[in-house]
């Protein structure tokens, strides 16, 4: 059983804050779209808007990369794509294993976007003997008995967990013991990992809960605004000497 912390300090060794690292993929996605349209340069304002980030924050983030742009011209799109890719370690190929090839694992395996971003699905692993040998996304599923060997042979350092939550920690422990140092966890389980192992978790239901919170707040604000408008309308009617029911005066003249 693995022990230890589940998070890293707020800055990385090269002095780039974690918050900046978390925004680099957003810039990269926006820059890649510009690159695909053969746009040569981009201003900080344009790129910030495309990435959904404040432009002052973007300039600060890029200063950590040593990229300051050219006044009046902006940033060179291709060079920035290269710089951010290099910073994120995407200029090399990362073999990834997915463990748990059910609905979600198979959907991820079938997602074509990983390869173009430098992540090659090296192996698909499942504990169900019936799954062994089945082709998913053109890859034969392998039984989890051979997990350690598969990790070793493919030089895998990134593992994706899409198993049921009850076995996620056990799968995580095996991945870590086999040499995996980064885990993307889709199972709704808080994983415990030793120092030096990074865990990122993805939970769509948490994202939906946050949206539900905002929806509720918007509905509350709308109801308040409607109540406010109704109160103003009523006050206006009363000022005109009319009752709240329209043309009937609230107080009959003597």
Ligand X SMILES: NC(=O)c1ccc[n+]([C@@H]2O[C@H](COP(=O)([O-])OP(=O)(O)OC[C@H]3O[C@@H](n4cnc5c(N)ncnc54)[C@H](O)[C@@H]3O)[C@@H](O)[C@H]2O)c1
- Do the bridges between strand 41-42 and strand 75-76 make them parallel or antiparallel, or are there none, so unpaired? antiparallel
Q: How far is the CB of 152 from ligand X (least distance, A)?
A: 17
The reply on whether position 172 binds ligand X by CB under 6 A is: no
From the CB of residue 61, how many other CB atoms can be counted at a distance below 10 Å?
25
Q: Taking Cα atoms as reference points, which of 167, 89, 156, 161 lies closest to residue 123?
A: 156
Output 171 or 199, the one with its CB closest to ligand X. Answer: 171
Q: How far is the CB of 171 from ligand X (least distance, A)?
A: 5
- Among residues 85, 144, 151, 175, which is the contact residue for ligand X, using CB under 6 A? 144
CB 5 within 8 A of CB 29: no
Output 80 or 151, the one with its CB closest to ligand X. Answer: 151
Total residues binding ligand X (CB under 6 A): 25
Tell me the window of 85-93, 151-159, 161-169, 237-245 that interacts with ligand X (CB under 6 A): 161-169
From the CB of residue 178, how many other CB atoms can be counted at a distance below 10 Å?
16
φ, ψ of residue 162 to 5 degrees: the values are -130, 40
CB 203 within 8 A of CB 225: no
- Among residues 21, 49, 127, 137, which is the contact residue for ligand X, using CB under 6 A? 127
The reply on whether position 87 binds ligand X by CB under 6 A is: no
Q: How far is the CB of 147 from ligand X (least distance, A)?
A: 8
Rounded CA-CA distance 223/212 in Å is 16
Output 103 or 135, the one with its CB closest to ligand X. Answer: 103
Mapping DSSP to helix (H, G, I), strand (E, B) and coil, where does residue 8 land?
coil
Total H helices, total E strands in the chain: 9, 9
Is 133 one of the annotated binding-site residues? no
The reply on whether position 100 binds ligand X by CB under 6 A is: yes
Task: Give the dihedral of Cα atoms 134, 135, 140, 142; nearest 10 deg.
Answer: -40
Output 101 or 197, the one with its CB closest to ligand X. Answer: 101
Binding site for NAD(+): what residues are annotated?
Answer: 100-105
Binding residues (CB under 6 A) for ligand X: these are: 99-105, 125-128, 131, 144, 162-165, 167, 171, 186-188, 202-204
């Amino acid at each position: 059983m693995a022990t230890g912390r589940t998070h890293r300090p707020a800055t990385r060794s090269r002095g780039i804050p974690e918050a900046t690292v978390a925004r680099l993929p957003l810039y990269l996605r926006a820059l890649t779209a510009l690159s695909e349209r053969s746009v040569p340069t981009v201003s900080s304002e344009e790129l910030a808007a495309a990435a959904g980030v404040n432009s002052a924050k973007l300039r600060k983030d890029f200063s950590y990369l040593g990229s300051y742009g050219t006044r009046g011209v902006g940033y060179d799109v291709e060079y920035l794509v290269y710089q951010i890719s290099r910073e994120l370690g995407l200029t090399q190929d990362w073999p990834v294993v997915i463990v748990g090839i059910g609905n979600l694992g198979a959907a991820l395996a079938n997602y074509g976007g990983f390869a173009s971003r430098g992540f090659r699905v090296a192996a698909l692993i499942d504990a169900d003997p019936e799954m062994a040998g089945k082709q998913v996304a053109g890859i034969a599923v392998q039984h989890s008995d051979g997990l350690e060997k598969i990790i070793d042979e493919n030089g895998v350092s990134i593992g994706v967990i899409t198993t049921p939550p009850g076995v996620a920690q056990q799968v995580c422990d095996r991945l870590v013991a086999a040499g995996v140092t980064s885990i993307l966890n889709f199972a709704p389980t808080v994983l415990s990992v030793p120092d030096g192992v990074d865990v990122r978790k993805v939970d769509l239901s948490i994202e939906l809960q946050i949206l539900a919170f905002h929806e509720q707040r918007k509905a509350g604000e709308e109801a308040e605004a409607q109540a406010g408008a109704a109160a103003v309308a009523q006050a206006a009617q009363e000022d005109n000497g009319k009752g709240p029911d329209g043309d009937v005066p609230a107080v009959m003249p003597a």
